[in-house]
Structure 1
């Protein structure tokens, strides 16, 4: 299993809107495209304005294919277009790829 930690650096005033977009649309769209989000976190220091979440993937190849399908999904394109009429939610995004180690309790 491949785990992708995604870190979103959110533009000021957009965090609640981003929460709503994930809650109302993105989580279901990810599932539709074979991606399971295991958990969401928000930076404890509100000044950092970061959202974190982990996505499970079978491997890097399936990750790339699933994201390709997601990014081209007409429903996603419309959700993003409408939700960002007043400007983009993110100023930057990072991905960190991880795998379990032999002594991990989740193996």
Structure 2
């Protein structure tokens, strides 16, 4: 099993928009593409906050295949186009890959 622990530092003033997008779009697309997701959670930082979640995959091949399908999904492509036209919600990110 492989898990990805993902941290997204939120641009000030964009917390609700990012959480709304994640809940309304990302979680549903993850499920559509067979990606098991846990979260999201808020992590308070000294300055700002992060959106944190965990994704679970059977193995590296499943992870690569599911991410490729997710990224190619026209619904996700529409989100990326909309993001490009707006002020960014994400100031930075960190992804930790865990395996057992």
Q: TM-score range by the shorter chain?
A: 0.7 to 0.9
Taking structure 2 as the reference length, the TM-score comes to: 0.86
Give the SS at the match of 1:13.
coil
Provide the secondary structure at the position in 2 that maps to 1:47: coil
For 1:71-99, what per-residue CA distance to the aligned partner results, in whole angstroms no more than 9, with x for missing partners?
11111111232355322221222111113
Is the Cα–Cα contact under 8 Å of residues 2 and 57 in structure 2 kept in the other structure?
yes
The Cα offsets for residues 24-59 of structure 1, whole Å up to 9 and x where unpaired, read as: 111010111111112221113472321110001111
User: Residue 12 of structure 2 contacts residue 48 of structure 2 at CA under 8 Å; is this kept in 1?
Assistant: no
The answer to which structure has the higher strand fraction is: 2
- Structure 1 segments unaligned to the other structure (5+ residues): 101-107
Q: Provide the aligned C-alpha RMSD in A.
A: 1.7
**Rg comparison, structure with higher value:** 1
TM-score (norm 1): 0.81
Count how many residue pairs are aligned between Structure 1 and Structure 2. Answer: 100
